[in-house]
Structure 1
Amino acid sequence: MARTGKKILMIVGDFVEDYEAMVPYQMLLMLGHEVSTVCPGKRPGDTVATAIHDFEGHQTYTEKPGHRFAINAEFASADPAAFDALIIPGGRAPEYLRLDPQVLNMVRHFAETSKPLAAICHGPQILVAAGVLAGRECSSYPAVAPEITAAGGKYMTPGEGLDTAHVEGNLVTAPAWPAHPAWIREFHKLLETA
């Protein structure tokens, strides 16, 4: 029987946004895909700490401790060519993951080969650091907009409820976890045609 699901790489790190790692991971497994979670400096069986970011009427989001999210694959030996797609969740992890040259090379592989690539919330900080947004349209958490613009990308303003997704070619981006129904639907459409 032929495999119908895709092999997806998800790059996470400590204080990744809980919902932006956990929910897509579980939903994509439910849809029959294989999701390998990796983190620089961590091995299969390790976990990363997550943070829950919420919108409670303040000028910015609040942060609370989340769950432990399991790493199930080896980062150091992960070959991007062996995967059909890449997911970059948000939270605080992207601000330091973007300093890792191997993370940036992985992202460049997916951009250069036009494989499905999804980033949400602060995840596009890694796309900026990888240099793959010049001339591209990208949504993100609004606080990341200046970085996208400075990198030569076109920031796509999200809907009022942060619940929209933007698709441009192989790139699916969204502003925050309220957009899960929209961006996971659009990412899954790309996976079906990849």
Structure 2
Amino acid sequence: MSRAQILLIAGDFVEDYEVMVPFQALQMVGHEVHAVCPEKAAGDTCPTAVHDFEGDQTYTEKPGHNFELNHDFEDVDPADYDALVVPGGRAPEYLRTYDDVLEIVQHFFEADKPVAALCHGLQILAAADVLEGRTCTAYPALEADVIAAGGEWEDDVTCDGNLVTAQAWPDHPEWLAEFLDCLGTDVEHAEPAAADD
């Protein structure tokens, strides 16, 4: 798949790195990414939250950037997309209450298209009832949610068929590499230019 059409589902207080990094990285290697949010249109923004791991019993939360959406949610037809990205943060907790969001997620699983989800994004997948029999991971506190939804828990970045999951943004390098493999993306590195003598 040389150039994929990828759908990214965002929402208010999506985790900053978990939306910004895949959005930019996937475009960098040539894919087209449509970032959408229910009840919002292209040009609208979602405030983000930075979740950090500083030695406390759970993550800390700080204000992040305003993430600008580039596509209208109401115009999304999941059949037009080759793959789906579901970032974490606080957004999945409320995004999973939208039937349209759950139906979009279900389409990608029914069509066996690549899906990359991490951290609290698995809350949406659990609500969409697509984790039965799937090996996956999420933010560690969601292990019980994944198991209750019929998933098999792993502690590491996991690729089960076309589902790629990770626990949080520190997993970006491995998580994105696995997703690019699922997409069939070849990343070519140019040879450095020879120095002039």
TM score, norm. by length of structure 1: 0.94
Name the residue aligned to 2:169: 177
Which amino acid in 2 is paired with 1:168? D
Instruction: Report what 1:166 is aligned to.
Output: 158
- The AA in structure 2 aligned to 1:178 is P
Secondary structure of 2:75's aligned partner: coil
Aligned to 2:98: 100
Distance, in Å, in 1 between the alignment partners of 2:128 and 2:75 is 19
Give the superposed CA RMSD: 1.0
Query: In structure 1, how many angstroms separate the alpha carbons of the residues matched to 2:139 and 2:2?
Result: 32
Secondary structure in structure 1 of the residue aligned to 2:175: helix
CA distance in 1, matches of 2:21, 2:150: 31
What residue identity is the alignment partner of 2:167? P
Q: For 1:106-149, what per-residue CA distance to the aligned partner results, in whole angstroms no more than 9, with x for missing partners?
A: 00000011100010000000000000001111110001111110
Of residues 6, 9, 13 in structure 1, which corresponds to 2:7? 9
Is 2:187 the counterpart of 1:189? no
**Other-structure match for 1:55:** 53
Query: What is the match of residue 135 of structure 2?
Result: 137
Distance 1:56 1:106 in 2: 35
What does residue 162 of structure 1 align with? none
**Superposition deviation, residue 77 in structure 1:** 1.6
Q: What TM-score results when the alignment is normalised by the length of structure 2? A: 0.92
Q: Distance in 1 between matches of 2:139 and 2:56?
A: 15
How far apart, CA to CA, are the structure 2 residues paired with 1:141 and 1:14?
Answer: 19
Displacement after TM superposition at 1:4 (Å):
2.6
Structure 1 alignment gaps of length 5 or more: 159-164
Tell me which stretches of 4 or more aligned residues in structure 1 moved more than 2 Å: none
Confirm whether residue 41 of structure 1 aligns to residue 33 of structure 2.
no
Task: Give the counterpart letter for 1:167 in structure 2.
Answer: C
Secondary structure class of the residue paired with 2:46? strand
Identity of aligned residues (%): 59
**How far apart, in 1, do the equivalents of 2:134 and 2:25 lie?**
27
Gaps of 5+ in 2: 186-197
Q: 2: distance between equivalents of 1:116 and 1:104?
A: 16
Greater gyration radius: 2
